[in-house]
Each structure stands twice: as structure tokens, then as C-alpha cells.
Chain A
């Protein structure tokens, strides 16, 4: 568990971080380090340089403007979980953040690092997909926004270019009548999602006007459950309608389900409707 040699730079500003990235091909950004440092110590990654952006205050904090919540990339999972603004406006995100790893991981790990790493078993990408979040990315001083649907391309693969820096995550604030929930079956050791489901449901006059459901943990990349959403929209929520809609998730899973020694693809496939059902039930309850 001894990392190979690498150069270390601490960026004093976002602009400097961008310059350092350009100057050091193959360099990796270091934020919370909770995925990167173990990989370094296992010698599974050997970047020539680390660029520490951990002290860039401009990437920290949560703000709300015009119905959008902007979360700085360096905001830690613990901060997400404890944020009253988040609890009020995107509760599923706060809920998911509180379920990540353990306190030590939550105190160090950041949302920006999490989305950039794009681990298929991670919790936040699933929620961000359900909530139609966008990822703000800077390169050469200019910022662009990438919808989560386009950002997460595959297993540990994102739309980030070599010199891109994730600066913030933007999430639409929940409106009146909207309920959200994140449910996961977690691995007892890593606490990664074996199956994770995020749901956001808006009730209008007693019927479900919109439903957004996303899945993670069992698919290579966080995925929207279109069939479930369609089955719910326009329905009056009940135990039966929710169960029926959740069962429709099998059509959304595709062929490439993740399976491992802890939980086979078969088991995960069987648990997907259960997880979705529970997330929907909680979301509907909170919407009411």
C-alpha cells in the first residue's frame, strides 16, 4: 500500500488548476481523494502528477437561485447530508449522501469527485439522473453545463475531457407536491449500492402528474426507468399501482446487469422492482 512516485501541486485558484492540468498531461485532480488515494496505494493508477484542488473555496458551498440549487464540487457528502437547504429542495440527494460509506468517507468525499469517478455502484449519480441535474464543467476559464443524462456515459466513464474540471452540480429545486426518495440495498463492506433507486414524484390533485425514477448499482451506468415512469404518470397512487409500475422496471434494465460474488445479476434483477417500489412508496408519501 505504497503509492508510486508522483508530483504534487496545490492549486491556488480554479484558473491555476486549469493551467496545471494543461501543463501536466495525465495529471489527476485530487479533491477528497477517497477513490483516488486507494487506487494510488494499490498502484492501480500511476498519474505523473496530482493537482490538489481541495482548498479552492470557490468550489465549496450550496446556494439557491431561481429554483435551482447549485452545489459546489467540493461539497462533502457529510455537508450534503446535513444541509437544511438540500433537505428542503432536493431531499433525495441529501438522503443518498447520508448513506454513502461511513462517516470518515462522508467527511472527506466530495460530490464533484464522486460524479467524476462515476462508479456504477455509487449513489449520487442515480439521484442526479432522477432529478435531471446538470454538471457544471470548466475548461480554459469557460463554464458549460452537461445534463446528467449525457454526463454519465458508461462504467467509470464520463463526458469529461482531459482538461475539464467539475465545478458544480445544479439540481432543480423540488416544487410543491413533489416527493423524493432514495432507497438502496447496500454492500455490507463497501456500502456501495447493490441496487439503488431514486424516485421523484409530483402529485397534482391526487394523481401522479410526473414521475422520475433512476436506477444504479446493478447497471453499468445510472439509468432512468422509463417504463416505470410511464406506468405511473396519470395514475392515482396506491399500493397496487406502485407495485405494478415498479414491476415494469424489468423492461428498463437491459442485458448488462452487474453481478458479483456478493450479489448475482439474477438477484439484483429480482430486487430492482422491490427497491423501486420502496423508493416510490416513500416519494409518494412525502409528496402527499
Chain B
């Protein structure tokens, strides 16, 4: 499944880039993130409790940032698994200057397996998009109102 999004930040690309690779900020904004610990080479072990309403699942996995081209682009590779199944994904994240700010575009794919994939197809895409929107909204908020 493809997942795309576009978000504007009221800051120059370098500031947005710094935020995107700030693991504390990422961990704070990743919905349901319980922990995010570096294991080297821009790779992190992540524990997430993902879900909406009553439907929750705890996933353990890794997040890796590859092909870093500051402050323009990088690739994100995500792998996780939990009792409801597994999630793998990857995406290209690009930053472009735009009207004095920065436009961040995400172009990725998500593969979900297990129970969620079998019974949740009508919602998976929307949920993935919602979580991504929340992640970037949180980052936008952080940029405007630093903690």
C-alpha cells in the first residue's frame, strides 16, 4: 500500500531537517512511541503501542534512516512486529524550500501482515495516514513552540 503526504513547516529546510533527525523530537511525536533507543548506524530500536480506540497492538521493531542528504532528503525504513502481526515500510522523505518555509513530502509504502491485514483493510490506509498526519502536526507544533 502506498502512503503519501505533504506538510509545510514555517522554517527553513535546515531547521526542519534538524528536527526530523532529532530522535527525542521524533520519539515524542511518533504516536504511541514508548521508547526509541539507538543501536548504531542511524538505526533505532522502537517500542510502539499503535492503534485507535479499543484496537491496539504493541509492536517492537526498528527504525532506520538511510541515504541522508542533509537538508534535502533521506529514506526511512521501518520494521516491527507484535501479536496482531507485522508492519514493514519504507519511504522517501524530501525537504524543499517553499515560500520562506519548507515543504516536506513523504512517498512511501506500508506492508501490514497478520490479523490487522486480514480484517482491517478498509481502515489501514486511513489509519496510517492519520498517524503520519499526527506525527508531522506534532513536529510542526514543536517547531513553533519548542519544548
In their complex, do chains A and B touch, with some C-beta pair under 8 Å?
A: yes
Asked whether, in the complex, the Cβ of A43 is within 8 Å of the Cβ of B126, the reply is: no
Q: How many residues of A contact B (CB 8 A)?
A: 27
| Residue numbers in B under 8 Å from A176 (CB-CB) | none
Kindly provide the distance from the CB of B125 to the nearest chain A CB, expressed in whole angstroms.
7
CB < 8 Å neighbour of A45 from B55, B129, B130, B133: B55
CB < 8 Å neighbour of A44 from B116, B121, B130: B116
A49 to B52, CA, bound (A): 18
| Residue numbers in A under 8 Å from B133 (CB-CB) | 256
Q: Taking A44-B84, A45-B54 as contacts, is the C-beta distance between A155 and B126 under 8 angstroms?
A: yes
Asked whether, in the complex, the Cβ of A44 is within 8 Å of the Cβ of B115, the reply is: yes
Measured CB to CB, the nearest residue on chain A to B126 is A258
Q: Taking A44-B84, A155-B130 as contacts, is the C-beta distance between A28 and B123 under 8 angstroms?
A: no
A157 to B127, CA, bound (A): 12
Asked whether, in the complex, the Cβ of A44 is within 8 Å of the Cβ of B127, the reply is: no
Q: Taking A155-B130, A156-B52, A157-B52 as contacts, is the C-beta distance between A44 and B122 under 8 angstroms?
A: no
CB < 8 Å neighbour of A156 from B53, B83, B122: B53
B84-119: which have CB < 8 Å to A? 84, 115-116, 119
Kindly provide the distance from the CB of B51 to the nearest chain A CB, expressed in whole angstroms.
8
Asked whether, in the complex, the Cβ of B125 is within 8 Å of the Cβ of A43, the reply is: no
Asked whether, in the complex, the Cβ of A155 is within 8 Å of the Cβ of B55, the reply is: no
For the complex, is A42 an interface residue (Cβ under 8 Å from B)?
yes
Most buried by A among B54, B121, B130, B133: B54
Measured CB to CB, the nearest residue on chain A to B83 is A43
For the complex, is A21 an interface residue (Cβ under 8 Å from B)?
no
For the complex, is B57 an interface residue (Cβ under 8 Å from A)?
yes
A127-172: which have CB < 8 Å to B? 154-157
A256 to B6, CA, bound (A): 12
For the complex, is B56 an interface residue (Cβ under 8 Å from A)?
yes
Kindly provide the distance from the CB of B86 to the nearest chain A CB, expressed in whole angstroms.
14
Asked whether, in the complex, the Cβ of A261 is within 8 Å of the Cβ of B54, the reply is: no
Asked whether, in the complex, the Cβ of A39 is within 8 Å of the Cβ of B54, the reply is: yes
Kindly provide the distance from the CB of A43 to the nearest chain B CB, expressed in whole angstroms.
7
A188-204: which have CB < 8 Å to B? 190, 192
Measured CB to CB, the nearest residue on chain B to A38 is B119
Asked whether, in the complex, the Cβ of B57 is within 8 Å of the Cβ of A44, the reply is: yes
Kindly provide the distance from the CB of B144 to the nearest chain A CB, expressed in whole angstroms.
22
| Residue numbers in A under 8 Å from B55 (CB-CB) | 39, 44-45, 156
For the complex, is A5 an interface residue (Cβ under 8 Å from B)?
no
Asked whether, in the complex, the Cβ of B115 is within 8 Å of the Cβ of A47, the reply is: no
Measured CB to CB, the nearest residue on chain A to B130 is A155
A92 to B8, CA, bound (A): 41
Asked whether, in the complex, the Cβ of B54 is within 8 Å of the Cβ of A155, the reply is: no
Asked whether, in the complex, the Cβ of A45 is within 8 Å of the Cβ of B56, the reply is: yes
Asked whether, in the complex, the Cβ of A117 is within 8 Å of the Cβ of B53, the reply is: yes
Interface string of A23-48 (1 = CB under 8 A from B): 00000100000001001001111110
A45 to B57, CA, bound (A): 8
A contacts, CB < 8 Å to B = 28, 36, 39, 42-47, 117-118, 120-121, 154-157, 187, 190, 192, 220, 256, 258-262
B contacts, CB < 8 Å to A = 52-57, 83-84, 115-116, 119-123, 125-127, 129-130, 133
6 closest A-B pairs by beta carbon, nearest first, are A156-B53, A260-B122, A45-B54, A156-B52, A44-B55, A258-B126
